[in-house]
Amino acid sequence: MINNKIILSLTFSIFCSQSFSSEIENLFLPEGFKINIYAEDVKSARQIAESPNGAIFVGSKSGDSVMALIDTNNDNYAETKIIIASGLSNPTGVALKNGDLYFSEIDKIWVVKNIDEYIENGVYENRPAKEIYTDQLPSDSWHGWKWLGFGPDNSLYVPVGAPCNICIEPLQKDYRYASIHKVKQDGSMEVVASGVRNSVGFDWHPETKKLYFSDNGRDWLGDDSPSCELNVVNSDGDFFGYPYKHASDVFDPKYGNIMVNKEFNDPILELGAHVAPTGIAFYDGNAFPEDYKNDLFITLHGSWNRTKKVGYKVISVSFDDEGNYLSHTDFITGWLQGQKVSGRPAAVFVKSDGSLLISDDKANLVYRVTYSPDLI
């Protein structure tokens, strides 16, 4: 379905130093939008969060650190980077709640209380000890990275991926796999959504407060099947098909004939096979045109095992007032030129000033997207 937004794409002028021009000169956005580099040398940048004082925190997929990005002179470029914690295992997830910074490892979640008190003028002073929030998560590295988010109910939500491409035995032995959970400090977990192969991003609709999440489809069923997914949780405990069914109508060749006494919830949007949706964020800022209010931005990280590469872009998804899917369209493209990849968008975040931050775990960058009617 074609979005009714103006989607005329332009190649953008360079709004950063000349050394960055090659990183963004091939990127295309809708008319009126511009993109620049917010931070560089952010190794394997993943999930993004912001503190009340404006510090930007970034997790890392293949690195071992959680980093703070500080724009000390308010020029919309974070010239100062501070290591908040290091020696971590896949610390992809970061989240802020009541001034406390939470970040994940594969099998645990840490918290640093009152993080802004320790960052002043780009200096991390009197470094506090990080505290364990929980160390009771599964330790499997396959789909083991943990996205973090606090819901409207103030609970901490964490996904636990399937420890495999396709399997059933681990899921039968441990209910935590292939699910999204509310995680309490004592390690207890309440299932919010199950049958979820590998979610690497979720967010709540600003009006309905329902949870929407991305899910990566299984591999090795061909170039064009099954599709990756965007899903919505209508009731806690909803089941989304894995490992029996993928997308809307692809029954697994190994497990699809097993009778299951569960109601399957189909995706609200099939995103395409192997596009690898990761971060998602509803736009609740006030700096973009009104048409974008409550739209969902999704980073498509890009395929790794498809004959011809797909993904490597950011899309926007529109909904009606009840949160029902209407349409979607490309928002940023250009990281994929032919079969050459220059970047892999990994997470998206709405900054307090209404701009959009996007992490790139291939180029080790964080981008900033803004809008001005003067560019039309």
Q: What is the mean pLDDT of the chain?
A: 92
* Mean pLDDT on 218-224: 95
List Cβ<8 Å contacts ≥24 apart for 137-142.
Answer: 137/106, 137/107, 137/108, 137/109, 137/176, 137/183, 137/187, 138/106, 138/107, 138/163, 138/174, 138/176, 138/177, 139/106, 139/107, 140/106, 141/90, 141/106
Q: Is residue 355 a contact partner of residue 287, using CB atoms and an 8 Å limit?
A: yes
pLDDT at 338 over 60: yes
* Mean pLDDT on 97-115: 96
Could you report the per-residue pLDDT of 108-148, keeping only the tens digit for each?
999 999 999 988 767 787 777 899 999 989 999 999 899 99
Cα–Cα nearest to 189, from 133, 124, 245: 133
The letter for the amino acid at 214 is S
Dihedral sign, Cα of residue 293, residue 296, residue 301, residue 304: negative
Q: Scan for tokens 């003028």, then name that residue.
A: 121
Contacts of residue 98, Cβ cutoff 8 Å, sequence gap at least 6: none
SS3 percent helix, strand, coil of the chain, rounded to 5, is 5, 40, 55
Could you report the per-residue pLDDT of 32-84, keeping only the tens digit for each?
999 999 999 999 999 999 999 999 999 999 999 999 999 999 999 999 999 99
What domains are there in the chain, each with its CATH number? 9-375 (2.120.10.30)
Query: What is residue 8's predicted lDDT score, i.e. its pLDDT?
Result: 33
pLDDT at 187 over 60: yes
Query: What is residue 15's predicted lDDT score, i.e. its pLDDT?
Result: 41
Reported as a pLDDT band with limits 50, 70 and 90, residue 259 is confident
Query: What is residue 232's predicted lDDT score, i.e. its pLDDT?
Result: 98
